[in-house]
Chains A and B, each alone.
Chain A
Amino acid sequence: MSSVAGDQNLTTVTEKISSIVLERKVGKGWILGLMVCFALVMLLLYSITVLLVKGVGIWGLNVPVGWGFAIINFVWWIGIGHAGTLISAILLLLNQEWRTSINRFAEAMTLFAVSCAGLFPLLHVGRPWLAYWLLPYPNTMGMWPQFRSPLLWDVFAVSTYATVSALFWYVGLIPDLATLRDRAQTGFGKVVYGLLAMGWRGAARHWERYETAYLLLAGLATPLVVSVHTVVSFDFAVSIVPGWHATVFPPYFVAGAIFAGFAMVLTLAIPLRKIYQLEDYITMRHLQNMAKVMLATGMIVAYGYIMELFMAWYSASPYETAIVSNRLIGPFAHVFWPLMLCNVLAPQMLWFRKVRHSTVGLMIVAMFVNVGMWLERFLIVVTSLSRDYLPSSWDDYHATFWDWSLFIGTLGLFGALLFLFIRFLPMISIFEMRTIVPGGRPKGSGANGNGEGH
C-alpha cells in the first residue's frame, strides 16, 4: 500500500486540498457540527464565569482530594497532544513519508488539545488573572517561583510545548497559505491568506531557508515528545503519596500519551477522510501504521499497569498494597476493571489484520482508548488522594455538575477549533503531498523518495 492512492498528480493534490477551503460549499453537516460544538463552548464560558464568580468550591474538590477533575482533564488533554508532535517531529526526522498526509491536522489537534489542557491548571489556581505569578520575573513582591516543585516545571514544559507546537504548525503552513493566497477568489481571502503567508514566493532561497528552519524546529520539538509528559508524571512521582511515588511513571506516562494521541488522531482521521473524500491521501496504510503505534504503546502502558502491581507487592509497603487492593477489589474496582477493558484488552484487537483494515473496527478501538486514558488518570489522581496514610483523613470524591460541564465544554472547544480549522486552512499539507505524488521529486533525489514500505 502506498502513502497516496488513486491517480493523483501535482495538480490534483493542490486542487483537491485547497478546494475544500476555497470552493467547497459550506455543508449542512459542518454547520450542524460547529453549532453543537459552539453550544458547548458557550457552556464552557458559562462554567468559567460561574467558577470565577463563586470560586473553585463549585467543583467537587475538597480535602483530601484536592486535585480531581482539573488535573485529570489536564493530563488527558496534554497526553492527546503528543501524537501530533511525534508525527510531525520524530517521523519527519526518521524520514517516514507516510506522516505527510496526517501531520497537519495532527499538529492542529496538538495545538487545540494543549489549549484545552492549559485551561485547567489556570482555572485551578483560583485566581487565573494572577497566573503570571507562576513565571520568574522581577516583581515588587520580591517573590520567585519555587523551582523545586514539579508543578513549576509543568509551567515551563507546557508553555514551551505550546510555543513550539504553534511555531511548527504555523511554519509548516506558510507555503500552503501562499498557495491559498494565489488561488483565493475573493479580495478578502487574498489579503488574509496573503498576510498570513508573510510574503512567501516559493523562491529557491525561500525553500532553502524554509527546509533548514523546519528541520531545526523538528529537532527542537523532538525532545518535547518525551519531556513534556515526563514532567507531567513528576507532578505525581516526585511526591511521596502511595501509588504515585514510582520510577515507572515517566516512561509509562509518555507511552500513555502517545497511545492516547494516536487514538485521537484516528478518531479524527477516520470521519474526516470519509466526509471530505480524502481516502486517496489518508490511506488504509496510514490508519494501519497508526494502529500499530497504538498497539506498541498500549503494550508499554499495560506493562506500566503490571509494574504498578508488582512494585506494590515487591515494596512490601502496606500503603502501596492498600492502594492496589483499593483498585482491584476495593472502592475503585468500578474504575479499574473498565480501565483494563479499555486500555489493555481492547487494543489487543489490533493484532488482527481484519480489525486494522476496518475503519469501523479502528474507530471502536480508538474510542475505547480515549475513554480508557481518561479513566487511567481518574484512577491515578483519585485513588491515591482519597485513601492515603491516615484512615481518619479518608474521604470520597464526587464530581459536581460544574466539573462535568467544564470538561464537556473543553471537548466542545476542541471540536469547534477543529471545525474552523478544516474550513479555513488546508487540513493536509499541500506542498508536502506534492513531494510524494509521482513526478513530485526530480529523479534520483533523496533517499526518502519512494523507497520504503510499499
Chain B
Amino acid sequence: MHLVHGVATTSESLGSPTFPKSMAQIFHPSLNTVSRATIFGAVFILGAAAFGWDSLLRSPYVTQVGVARDQPVPFSHKHHVGGLGMDCRYCHSYVEESSSAGMPSTKVCMTCHSMVWNDSEMLAPVRESYAEDRSIEWTRVHDLPDFAYFDHSIHISKGVSCTSCHGAVNEMPLMWREASLQMDWCLSCHRDPQKYIGPRDRVFDPDFHPFDLDLETRQALAEENRVESLINCSVCHR
C-alpha cells in the first residue's frame, strides 16, 4: 500500500472510515498493465493450452505412431515379409478364426532358425527360449484397452487388408504403430467402411492397399461381402 509514495502511513493516518483523508495508492501503477495482460491474455493462454493439450493427445508421444519399439530380438518384418515373402499367417496363424491374430511360439521361429543363422549372436535369446521352454517377452506394439472388444477374424473375412491398419509392414525393420488406435480412428472406418474394403483374396498381400482400387469397385466389394457400418457403442464396448 505504500509502494508509490513511500510514505510510512499508518492505518490511523488514513482517516476516519467515513471520510478518508488521504487516498494512498494501494497498488503500483504497473498493475494496470499486469491486469490488462492477464485479462486479455487469458483468452489466448487458455486457447493455447487447449490446443496444446489436444496436440499432445494426438502426438506420437502419446499414440506411439511411427515410433519403432525396441524388442528383445530385433525381428524385422521388412526382411521376413518384404525380403523373403512370407505370408502373414505363417506366424500370426489364428488371424482368420480368432479375435487375436496370435503371436508365434518360439518353435515357429525355430522351424527355420534351427537351420538358418543358427549360430547368430542376435538370435541367442530365441535359442535360449527354445531350450528353456520359456516365451520370449516381446514388447507389445498394438495394445487395445481392455474395454474395447476387437476381433481380427471378422475384419479379415470382410476384406479389410492387414496393411489398412498395420501399414506397410513389409517395409518396417522394427515394428511400429501405423495408426493411433484411438477411437476416432476406429470410427473413421466404421462410419463409412465401404471405402476401405478390398478383395478377400488380397487381404494378406502387403503390397496391396484398398485405395489402389477405385471407389465403385470397393463399394461393390463391400456389398458383396455384406459390410455394414457398425457404430453402436455396444459393438466394441460390450
Contacts and interface: CB of A to CB of B under 8 A. Distances in A.
Contact of B183 (A141, A185, A194): A141
B26 A141 contact: no
B184 A194 contact: no
Interface centre among A11, A22, A199 (most CB of B within 10 A): A199
Contacts of B35: 198-199
B26 A190 contact: yes
Contacts of A183: 17, 20
A191 B54 contact: no
Interface in A176-195: 181-183, 185-187, 190-191, 194
Contact of B182 (A138, A140, A198): A140
Nearest to B190: A142
A142 B26 contact: no
A185 B1 contact: no
Interface residues of A, number: 22
Range of interface residues on chain B?
20 to 34
A142 B1 contact: no
A142 B54 contact: no
Contact of A191 (B26, B58, B184, B188): B26
Interface centre among B1, B26, B35, B57 (most CB of A within 10 A): B26
B84 interface: no
B17 A142 contact: no
A191 B1 contact: yes
Given A138-B54, A186-B11, A199-B32, A143 B26 contact: no
Interface string B51-87: 0001001100000000000000000000000000000
A136 to B, nearest CB: 13
Contacts of A190: 1, 26
Interface string A17-34: 001001100000000000
Contacts of B182: 140-142
Interface in A152-189: 181-183, 185-187
Interface in A253-308: none
B131 interface: no
A132 B11 CA distance: 48
A139 interface: yes
Given A190-B1, A190-B26, A11 B184 contact: no
A316 to B, nearest CB: 37
Contacts, number: 48
A143 B182 CA distance: 11
A141 to B, nearest CB: 4
Interface in B2-30: 11, 14, 17-18, 20, 23, 26-27
B16 to A, nearest CB: 10
B220 interface: no
Nearest to A186: B11
A140 B57 contact: yes
Interface string B30-48: 0010010000000000000
A152 to B, nearest CB: 16
Contacts of B1: 187, 190-191
B187 interface: yes
A19 B57 CA distance: 53
B180 interface: yes
B180 A187 contact: no
A15 interface: yes
B18 A140 contact: no
B20 A182 contact: yes
Nearest to B183: A141
A183 B60 CA distance: 57
B11 A142 contact: no
8 contacts: A139-B54, A142-B188, A143-B184, A185-B11, A186-B11, A190-B26, A191-B1, A191-B27
Given A139-B184, A183-B20, 13 more contacts: A140-B57, A141-B187, A142-B186, A142-B187, A142-B188, A143-B184, A182-B20, A185-B11, A187-B1, A191-B27, A194-B26, A198-B35, A199-B35
Query: Considering the complex of A and B, which 10 residue pairs feature the smallest CB-CB distances, nearest first?
Result: A142-B184, A141-B183, A142-B187, A140-B182, A194-B26, A190-B26, A187-B1, A140-B57, A140-B184, A183-B17
